[in-house]
Structure 1
Amino acid sequence: MNQFKLVARIIEKSALRYTPAGVPIAAAILMHSAKQREANIERIVEFEINAQAAGLISKQFNDLPLDVETEFTGFLARKNRNSKSLVFHINEIGTHLLD
């Protein structure tokens, strides 16, 4: 199963675009920062990941404010079939997590 859930902030958005078939695509860069335990040691984990939402959820994703922690669920896939880079494909947007 390929399911990915992440609490992150949108730090950069691209303009809404459309596929040749007319499907809307919203793209952004997400920033994740959290404390994690590994081998009984706490460490800070931070990373950026490219994300996109297609179809009906794209407008909701595109309308999210910058820099607000939100829970996202989806899956990871290659940017394209010849790429090694991953993109987080969002298919569910959870609640905003305010400080």
Structure 2
Amino acid sequence: MNQFQCVASIAEREILRYTPAGIPIVSATLLHTSQQTEAGVERLVEFEVFAIAAGEISGRFNQAQLGATFQFTGFLARKNRNSRSLVFHIIDFEPPLDTGASNGIR
């Protein structure tokens, strides 16, 4: 199963564009920061992930406030067939369920 969820803020977002097939798509950079427990030790986890929202979700994602924090759900895939870089494909997002939670990755 390839499912990725994280709580992150929208750090950067490009303008809505269309693929040659006419599918709307928005590219963005998401920023995640949380405290995680690993081997009984608390550690600060911070990362940026390149993300895209395609199809119906792209319109809602394009209207979301830049800098706002959401819980994103989707999957990871290669940027292209020959790339080793990963892209987070957003299939849904909503306000975080618990803004006080320290664990924002699943």
**TM-score for the superposition, normalised by structure 2:** 0.89
Counterpart CA distance in 1 for 2:25 and 2:53 is 6
Whether 2:19 is the aligned partner of 1:19: answer yes
What is the CA-CA distance between 1:96 and the residue it aligns to?
Answer: 4.8
Gaps of 5+ in 2: 101-106
Distance 2:21 2:85 in 1: 24
Alignment of 1:22-37 (within 5 A): 22-37=22-37
> CA separation in 2, counterparts of 1:95 and 1:47?
19
Matched residue type, 1:37 = T
Structure 2 distance, partners of 1:40, 1:94, is 30
Q: Percent identity at matched positions?
A: 58
Contact kept, 8 Å, 1:68 with 1:96, in 2: the verdict is no
Name the residue aligned to 2:80: 80
- Give unpaired runs (5+ residues) of structure 1: none
Match of 2:104 in 1: none
Number of aligned residue pairs: 99
TM-score (norm 1): 0.95
Q: Which amino acid aligns with 2:70?
A: T
- Indicate the RMSD between aligned Cα atoms, in angstroms: 1.4
Distance (Å, rounded) in 1 between the aligned partners of 2:22 and 2:31: 29
